[in-house]
């Protein structure tokens, strides 16, 4: 299977948005029984990560703490006013990988895949590839 993409519209400037369901659908369509699912965000002010999805407060805590670690206004040189977003993307990363077992995305009980929006609201493209192993 090649790459498949889908778009997500974020609603806030900073937002962790659970995209596990959309990624799982791509995995199922791939018909790969055993393999690897690779998720990539092709944006410099958004990232992707795997973390707890059962309690929405975890995502809100991550948003808040990264905002404290990398504040929006901190005398950055970049003129667009979104340097904090670029830095948060460096910290979180622009890709993640998860196993595929028995034709399904294989995450831990509490895990979810999150699009990490740092400069929204925007429409973001999520790229997914499922590779058999």
Q: Which domain holds residue 121?
A: 4-132
pLDDT of res. 79:
83
Q: What is the CATH number of the domain that holds 89?
A: 2.60.120.460
pLDDT of 96 over the 80 cut: yes
pLDDT of res. 2:
83
- Among the listed ranges 27-36, 76-85, 100-109, 119-128, which one has the minimum average pLDDT value? 76-85
Yes or no: say if 132 and 35 are a contact pair by the CB < 8 Å rule.
yes
Q: Say how far apart CA 25 and CA 11 lie, in whole Å.
A: 23
Domain count, the chain: 1
pLDDT of res. 52:
98
What is the four-CA torsion angle of 16, 126, 92, 44, rounded to 10 degrees? -110
pLDDT of 87 over the 80 cut: yes
User: Which helix (H) or strand (E) covers residue 111, if one does?
Assistant: strand 111-117
The rounded mean pLDDT for the chain is 97
Which pairs from 56-61 meet CB under 8 Å and 24+ separation?
59/16, 59/18, 59/114, 60/16
pLDDT in tens, 14-68: 999 999 999 999 999 999 999 999 999 999 999 999 999 999 999 999 999 999 9
């Amino acid at each position: 299977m090649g790459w498949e993409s889908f778009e997500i519209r974020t609603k806030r400037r900073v937002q962790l948005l659970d995209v596990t369901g959309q990624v799982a659908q791509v995995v199922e369509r791939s018909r790969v029984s055993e393999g690897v699912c690779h998720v990539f965000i092709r944006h410099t002010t958004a990232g992707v990560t795997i973390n707890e999805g059962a309690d929405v407060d975890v995502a809100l805590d991550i948003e808040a703490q990264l905002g404290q670690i990398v504040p929006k206004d901190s005398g950055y040189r970049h003129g667009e006013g979104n340097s904090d977003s670029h830095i948060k993307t460096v910290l979180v990363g622009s890709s993640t990988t998860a196993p595929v077992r028995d034709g399904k995305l294989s995450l831990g009980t509490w895990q979810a895949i999150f699009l990490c929006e740092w400069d929204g609201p925007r429409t973001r493209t999520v790229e997914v590839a499922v590779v058999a192993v």
